[in-house]
């Protein structure tokens, strides 16, 4: 049976992991290579790197980091943040990334999804969607935001998810802007709505605080994978602890490494 994936997310700026981590085990908690190895040893199922560098030089250092990570870590790597062209994608895939994630660029130029899928295969193309609940709507609706959640687009999240898949997205990385950073649980309704709307896997993101939140996103939200940052980085829960919890509740997870 296909197992549910547990995915730590690392924010990288100028080649360094930011949003502080508190691993006592690591001498340098900002080193993406050391962190990737740590999560690999722990049994994470996949890693997502989100580049928040503002400069081309900053992005170059990420490409170098991906090269070094893929020499040491034998698990799937997804890299996103600031990708605008298929040339950007190629550079990261060549460096050792398995998938690339596009967000703002996909909304502004949806052909990029198709071009990427044609060049590298759908399985490489993750479309990341940042969605915010519309308070004004009588039935639940969510709007797509771009530019790191700063700019509303007027686009319906479910509609966009379907379009992205039609154009060739192999996976959706779905973040609830409302839930993100609050550690009060994922937006289950949003996760379920998107997961039921598309035929490709959906990664739920934003809001993980307790292990039960992950369970709910996977079961009630019907997500195929859950992404979390702070609960793992600050050591609130370890990967083995997380998997033991989910396994005990009857979910298929990968326990051995």
Partner 1 sequence: MIAVIDYGAGNLRSVANAIARLGYQPRITSAARDLLKAQAIILPGVGAAGNTMENLRNLGLVDLLKKLIADNRPFFGVCIGLQVLFTGTEEGGWHNCLGIIPGRVKKLPDGLKVPHMGWNQVRQRVSHPLFEGIPDGADFYFVHSYYGEPEDNSLVVGETDYGITMGSVIARDNLVATQFHPEKSGEHGLKMYDNFIRRALATRTP
Residues annotated as catalytic are: 11, 130
What span, in angstroms and rounded, lies between the C-alpha atoms of 102 and 164? 11
Q: Which of 171, 180, 187, 213 binds partner 1 (CB under 8 A)?
A: 171
What span, in angstroms and rounded, lies between the C-alpha atoms of 225 and 243? 12
The answer to the question of residue 23 lying near partner 1 (CB under 8 A) is no
Per-residue binder mask for partner 1 (CB under 8 A), 127-146, x = binder: --------------------
CB of 127 to partner 1, least distance (A): 14
**3-state class of 57 per DSSP?**
helix
Q: Which is nearer to partner 1, 55 or 72 (CB)?
A: 72
CB of 89 to partner 1, least distance (A): 13
The answer to the question of residue 250 lying near partner 1 (CB under 8 A) is no
The answer to the question of residue 1 lying near partner 1 (CB under 8 A) is yes
CB-based contacts of 216, cutoff 8 Å, min separation 6: 185, 186, 188
Q: Which is nearer to partner 1, 161 or 225 (CB)?
A: 225
The answer to the question of residue 124 lying near partner 1 (CB under 8 A) is yes
Q: Which of 45, 88, 130, 187 binds partner 1 (CB under 8 A)?
A: 45
Q: Which is nearer to partner 1, 45 or 187 (CB)?
A: 45
How many residues does the structure list for the chain?
257
Yes or no: say if 26 and 38 are a contact pair by the CB < 8 Å rule. yes
The answer to the question of residue 70 lying near partner 1 (CB under 8 A) is yes
How would you label 45-61 residue by residue, b for 16+ Cβ within 10 Å and e otherwise?
bbbbbbbebeeeebbeb
Give the rounded distance of the alpha carbon of 92 from its chain centre.
Answer: 16
The answer to the question of residue 42 lying near partner 1 (CB under 8 A) is no
Q: Which of 201, 219, 245, 251 binds partner 1 (CB under 8 A)?
A: 201
Q: Which is nearer to partner 1, 62 or 146 (CB)?
A: 62
Could you give the dihedral angle defined by the CA atoms of residues 187, 52, 39 and 89, in that order, rounded to the nearest 10 degrees? Answer: 100
DSSP 206-249: S---SHHHHHHHHHTS--SEEEESHHHHTTSS-HHHHHHHHHHT
Q: Which is nearer to partner 1, 50 or 226 (CB)?
A: 226
What span, in angstroms and rounded, lies between the C-alpha atoms of 60 and 70? 16
Give the total of residues touching partner 1 (CB under 8 A): 35
The answer to the question of residue 208 lying near partner 1 (CB under 8 A) is no
Binding residues for partner 1, rule: CB under 8 A, are: 1-5, 40, 43, 45, 67, 70-72, 74-76, 93-96, 98, 120-124, 170-171, 199-201, 224-225, 254, 256-257
């Amino acid at each position: 049976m296909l197992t549910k994936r547990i995915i730590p997310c690392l924010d990288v700026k100028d080649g360094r992991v930011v949003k502080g981590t508190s691993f006592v085990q690591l001498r340098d908690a900002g080193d993406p290579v050391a962190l990737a190895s740590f999560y690999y040893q722990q049994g994470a199922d996949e890693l997502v790197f989100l580049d928040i560098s503002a400069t081309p030089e900053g992005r170059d250092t990420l490409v170098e980091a991906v090269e070094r990570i893929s020499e040491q870590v034998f698990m799937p790597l997804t890299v996103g943040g600031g990708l605008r062209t298929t040339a950007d994608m190629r550079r990261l895939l060549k460096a050792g990334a398995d998938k690339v994630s596009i967000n703002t660029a996909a909304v502004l130029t949806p052909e990029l999804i198709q071009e990427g899928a044609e060049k590298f295969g759908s399985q490489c193309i993750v479309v990341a969607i940042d969605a915010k609940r519309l308070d004004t709507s009588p039935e639940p609706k969510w709007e797509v935001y771009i530019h790191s959640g700063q700019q509303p687009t007027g686009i319906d999240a479910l509609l966009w998810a379907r379009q992205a898949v039609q154009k060739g997205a192999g996976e959706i990385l779905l973040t609830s802007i409302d839930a993100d950073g609050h550690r009060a649980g994922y937006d289950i309704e949003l996760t379920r709505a998107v997961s039921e709307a598309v035929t490709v896997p959906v990664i739920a993101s934003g809001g993980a605080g307790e292990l039960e939140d992950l369970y709910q996103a996977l079961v009630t939200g019907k997500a195929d994978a859950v992404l979390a940052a702070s609960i793992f980085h600050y050591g609130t829960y370890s990967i083995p602890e997380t998997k033991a919890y989910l396994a005990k509740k009857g979910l298929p997870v990968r326990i051995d490494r």
